Structure 1
Amino acid sequence: MNTPAVLQPVRVWDLPTRLFHWGLALAVAGSVISAKIGGGAMVWHFRFGYVVLALLAFRVLWGLVGGRWSRFASFVYAPTTLWRYLQGRAAPQERLDVGHSPTGALSVFALLAVLAVQLGTGLVADDEIAHQGPLFMLVSTDNSLAATSWHKTWGQWMVLGLVALHVLAIVFYLVKKRINLVRPMLNGDKSLPPDTPASADGRTPRALAAVLLAACGALAWWVSKQGS
């Protein structure tokens, strides 16, 4: 008779990653809502955009030096690995469901890429009425208008679509697989075999994250001052 594996809490999502996740969610929501309101709320649309800039820049850096399961190296999968995962043939020692699974990784990279494009087009946008991105002078008028059109239409809908898919995936895992993906992003831990490597989440990595975030915030502030 096989003895069931004993599971224990393992730190998967370090605090900087969790704060990034929820901060980005709030910033994107604020950006969308303020854009829909328009008028005087556009000031906040730009402010939320600069927050998104700082957070995305931070995530790129943290993907290189952050906790084990937050690093890009832990969830950049080969096509063959993705295919085996979809077929349910992943080996337990691969630990594909500890951090971002192969399908979850695709979702993460897609959302980050679409947000980066949406941010970039917003920075060079010009509605020819009252609002211009701080970097609009770096591109031609035609390119600025094309960026503005994308930002207001396809870009916006792609962001909303990916966010909706993200939420639906969370609901699917909770209802169909009885796996709560939200709780670990709140407390950082998952119930896993005791030999699962944990992410470093002590004072030193948190201090490093604070320094990196401050630098990214300074970058966003500098960008906001261009064109003024």
Structure 2
Amino acid sequence: MKVSLLTYTQEPERTVAAAARLCYSPVGVEEILEKMDEERQKNFIKKLWDLNHLSPFEHVSFTFGIEGVSRALTHQLVRHRIASFSQQSQRYVVEQNFNFLIPPTIANSSQALEIYQQVLRAIKEGYLKLIEMGIPAEDARYLLPNAAETKIVVTMNARELLHFFEVRLCSRAQHEIRTLARKMLEEVRKVAPILFEKAGPLCETRGVCFEGPMSCGRLNLQDEGGS
């Protein structure tokens, strides 16, 4: 899996802090920006966290290039609706030699891996035969599995990213999208460490868990003084 931060709102923390300050200031945004030093930025962003006033985070966005992930992952990813997506098309791109992802549970079992690879080889063979017969790629793709490797460009604002991290860094999130979330968080922390200082699963950021009986129990352990 490869995750690259392609572009982002310049001076994201200054932008968020200035937007928040404007809500409480009689002066204009230009004057606010002139006085917005790093210490004020940091204090304002921390105050926003404490007040759960996160609408100013929506003024900055981050665009990622993501490669080496499965269609199973992107089907989960596009459920985050306050975002923009541009994905490699199986309609227009002929998958002459498509790569595929192997889940760890299958990779760790020689018997399961043999079955998995056998089926994928058959799918690939059938797909290529259909293409050779003149079947359009948009119809031949019906054979392609969730395991097929894909590429996608994703843009989210900072507030939606925080929500994404709360949900997808949870220990109960599916392993591949959890790995993606970790890599995305690593990237944004390089350019906006204060904005994403407290980013993480809900049990860490808000001290709550909505998994009910399916909870990993981590929050209860923390409440009891465990590790």
Give TM class, smaller chain.
Answer: under 0.3
> Whose strand proportion is higher, 1 or 2?
2
For the pair shown, the structure with the greater C-alpha radius of gyration is 2
Given the two structures, how large is their TM-score scaled by the length of structure 1? 0.23
Given the two structures, how large is their TM-score scaled by the length of structure 2? 0.23
